[in-house]
């Protein structure tokens, strides 16, 4: 799933098990949708569903759930402790990965219009999707709840964004929009609920009132005591983790707790969390403590340990981090092969994989060899003097080696698009024009992938030069092979660009691409020779 959007529809039903399960089944049965959580409350008479999907499927999942609610929920008989105004009370769309807030705004509008058109119900937009500032926040729209709708909806200022400006008794009204991901986060204290609440008041954005705002933006919170855990908690909702992420809240609680002589005993994330929030915490502690960690799984482990996320319940990244929950194996049939199988595939009776894919492999090996030498130098006592240098030089080499791997398959896929265009019909003028356009598009893709190989390789010459100067000279041959491999990988990708450029009929495109490719190719020759010269002069 390249684009991950979270949808959290809240339905005004928390008692009828059959209805609750029917809505869950409708979401789960929608192609492309992954139901993550169903949270029902009898006293609130409300159920919150959490599911993820891509931009094409998420609206279908929300509509499927709404269809069940339209049939089974009647707001005329609804009572509960939680504020509400509709059968489907609120339906936010939240960007998680590979998608922007603006895209989610458009998705929410598409959903709102379809919901209104299909069911004939009023729909309001809120948060990032709001059209009017005075009804941007959910409490503003929901003030007076379901019971006030008949009086408000006929007022011009409360005309819905979609659907009829009239009361639909069995449904009420629905609010939808795009918002940031809320992280429900609790920090544990070996103290009293009063102490926890004092800390929460000092930190939450609202503070103790307009005259005493709190320290942290986009934080709502309070303090309480959890009998099951036998400890107090500062319990918060982080409304925008890009403004205040969990680790900043955690460190702020530690500061406030120290002033009260109260011990902090880890924390917990309620529900699921985006990977980005966890990696932000890891990068914070890496910088704070002067650590050197490159692997993602180790970064996740560091964040879990520093935040004490295992303190009251196990934190399993596979079931708590959204991207890991929905992860599928990458579609990389070539990169996933054994070395033997890849070589045999290249040597087979087929035009693909060809020079572009092989060039990506060679360039990746070149960057990887120098990353290896840097890692073998780092931490060795006799190279302590260059420890800081290695910490700066290794990451770009490590990252380039990994970034080049997907391009092995991307180059073959790009060529396949061009071959597919060759088979298009050309019996009419319109078919002929379409085929020519598709061929040009396929050629440009077959040019831009090897150009990406060249660009990635070009970025690591400085790091490779540094490892050559300061790295363990016992690995001299590895450094030589690495430099040559990177140069050959860039040269091979360059030849692929040149070969595919022959049939491009856009002179401005040709000029722009070839100027960039020629410059990278020249730098590759020059930098490779510089590295070999440095190694020639370094004493063994």
Listing DSSP states for 242-284 in one string gives TTS-HHHHHHHHHHHHHHTT-EEEEEEEES-B-HHHHHHHHHH
Q: How confident is the model at residue 415 (pLDDT cuts 50, 70, 90)?
A: confident
pLDDT tens sequence across 340-371? 999 999 999 888 899 999 999 999 999 999 99
The span from the CA of 540 to the CA of 538, in Å, is 6
pLDDT tens sequence across 482-520? 999 999 999 999 999 999 998 899 999 999 999 999 999
Of the CA atoms within 13 Å of residue 243, those in its CB half-sphere come to: 16
Q: Tokens 């691409």 label which residue?
A: 513
Where b means 16+ CB within 10 Å and e means fewer, 178-217 reads bbbbbbebbbbbebebebbbbbbbbbbbebeeeeeebbbe
Across 391-396, average pLDDT: 96
User: Per the structure block, which two tokens stand in for 72?
Assistant: 């089974």
* Percent with pLDDT over 90 in the chain: 85
Q: At what angle do helices 246-259 and 275-289 cross, to 10 degrees?
A: 50
127 in the Ramachandran plot: left (φ > 0), alpha (ψ -120 to 50) or beta?
left
Annotated active-site residue in 82, 387, 402, 417: 82
User: Per the structure block, which two tokens stand in for 312?
Assistant: 């009251």
pLDDT at 271 over 90: no
The span from the CA of 223 to the CA of 187, in Å, is 10
pLDDT at 83 over 90: no
62-71, 203-212, 379-388, 422-431, range with the lowest pLDDT: 422-431
Q: According to the model, what pLDDT value does residue 480 have?
A: 97
CATH, domain range 4-178: 3.30.990.10
Do the two domains 183-325 and 339-537 of this chain adopt the same fold? no
Across 370-385, average pLDDT: 95
Report the Cα 256 to chain-centroid distance in Å: 32
The span from the CA of 490 to the CA of 484, in Å, is 10
Q: Where are the domains of the chain?
A: 4-178, 183-325, 339-537
Annotated active-site residue in 411, 413, 458, 478: 411
User: Per the structure block, which two tokens stand in for 248?
Assistant: 């900043």
The span from the CA of 333 to the CA of 39, in Å, is 39
pLDDT tens sequence across 166-185? 999 999 999 999 999 989 89
Residues paired with residue 126 on neighbouring β-strands, in sequence order? 177
CATH 3.30.200.20 for domain 183-325, yes or no, is no
Across 104-127, average pLDDT: 97
Where b means 16+ CB within 10 Å and e means fewer, 221-249 reads bebebbeeeebbbbbbebbebeebbbbbb
Across 51-80, average pLDDT: 94
The span from the CA of 55 to the CA of 410, in Å, is 23
pLDDT tens sequence across 220-241? 999 999 888 999 999 999 999 9
User: Per the structure block, which two tokens stand in for 154?
Assistant: 């006929």
In the residue annotation, 387 being an active-site residue is answered as: no
Return the CATH class of domain 339-537: mainly alpha
* Percent with pLDDT over 70 in the chain: 100
pLDDT tens sequence across 118-161? 999 999 999 999 999 999 999 999 999 999 999 999 999 999 99
Three state DSSP letters for 94-149: EEEECCCHHHHHHHHHHHHHHHHHHHCCCEEEEECCCCCHHHCCHHHHHCCHHHHH
Q: How confident is the model at residue 1 (pLDDT cuts 50, 70, 90)?
A: low
The span from the CA of 183 to the CA of 203, in Å, is 16
Q: According to the model, what pLDDT value does residue 153 have?
A: 96
Phi, psi of 201 (to 5 degrees): -65, -35
pTM for the structure as a whole: 0.81
In the residue annotation, 228 being an active-site residue is answered as: no
Q: According to the model, what pLDDT value does residue 188 have?
A: 97
């Amino acid at each position: 799933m390249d684009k991950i959007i979270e949808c959290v529809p809240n339905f005004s039903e928390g008692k009828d098990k059959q209805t609750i399960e029917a809505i869950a089944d409708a979401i789960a049965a929608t192609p492309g949708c992954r139901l993550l959580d169903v949270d029902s409350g009898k006293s609130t008479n409300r159920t919150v569903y959490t599911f993820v999907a891509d931009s094409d499927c998420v609206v279908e999942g929300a509509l499927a759930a709404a269809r069940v609610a339209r049939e089974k929920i009647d707001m005329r008989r609804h009572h509960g402790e939680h504020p509400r105004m509709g059968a489907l009370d609120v339906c936010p769309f939240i960007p998680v990965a590979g998608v922007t807030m603006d895209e989610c705004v458009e998705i929410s509008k598409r959903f709102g219009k379809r919901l209104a058109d299909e069911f004939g119900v009023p729909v309001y937009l809120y948060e990032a999707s709001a059209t009017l500032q005075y009804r941007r926040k959910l409490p503003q729209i929901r003030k007076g709840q379901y019971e006030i709708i008949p009086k408000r909806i006929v007022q011009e200022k409360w005309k819905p964004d979609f659907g009829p400006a009239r009361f639909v008794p069995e449904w009420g009204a629905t609010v939808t929009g795009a918002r940031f991901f809320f992280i429900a986060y609790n920090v544990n204290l070996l103290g009293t609920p009063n102490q926890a609440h004092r800390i929460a008041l000092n930190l939450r954005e609202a503070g103790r009132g307009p005259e005493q705002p709190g320290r942290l933006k986009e934080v709502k919170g309070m303090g309480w005591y959890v009998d099951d855990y036998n400890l107090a908690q500062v319990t918060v909702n982080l409304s925008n983790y890009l403004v205040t992420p969990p680790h900043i809240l955690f460190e702020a609680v530690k500061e406030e707790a120290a002033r009260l002589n109260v011990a902090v005993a880890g924390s917990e994330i309620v529900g699921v969390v985006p990977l980005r929030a966890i990696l932000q915490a890891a990068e914070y502690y890496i910088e704070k403590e002067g650590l050197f960690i490159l692997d993602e799984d180790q970064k996740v482990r560091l964040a879990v340990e520093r935040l004490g996320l295992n303190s009251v319940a196990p934190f399993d990244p596979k079931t708590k981090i959204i991207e890991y929950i929905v992860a599928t194996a990458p579609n990389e049939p070539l990169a996933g092969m054994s070395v033997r199988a890849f070589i045999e595939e290249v040597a087979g009776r087929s035009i693909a994989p060809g020079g572009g894919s092989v060039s990506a492999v060679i360039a990746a090996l070149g960057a990887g060899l120098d990353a290896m030498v840097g890692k073998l130098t780092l931490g060795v006592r006799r190279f302590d003097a260059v420890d800081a240098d290695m910490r700066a030089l290794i990451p770009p080499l490590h990252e380039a080696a990994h970034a080049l791997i997907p391009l092995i398959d991307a180059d073959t896929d790009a060529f396949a698009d061009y071959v597919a265009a060759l088979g298009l019909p050309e019996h009419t003028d319109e078919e002929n024009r379409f085929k020519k356009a598709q061929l040009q598009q396929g050629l440009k893709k077959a040019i831009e992938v090897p150009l990406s190989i060249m660009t990635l390789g070009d970025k690591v010459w400085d790091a490779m030069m540094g490892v050559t100067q300061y790295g363990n000279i016992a690995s001299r041959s590895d450094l030589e092979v690495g430099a040559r491999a990177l140069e050959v990988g860039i040269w091979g990708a360059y030849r692929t660009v040149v070969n595919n450029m022959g049939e491009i009929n856009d002179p401005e495109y040709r000029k722009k691409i070839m100027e960039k490719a020629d410059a990278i190719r020249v730098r590759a020759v020059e930098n490779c020779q510089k590295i070999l010269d440095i190694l020639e002069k370094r004493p063994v």
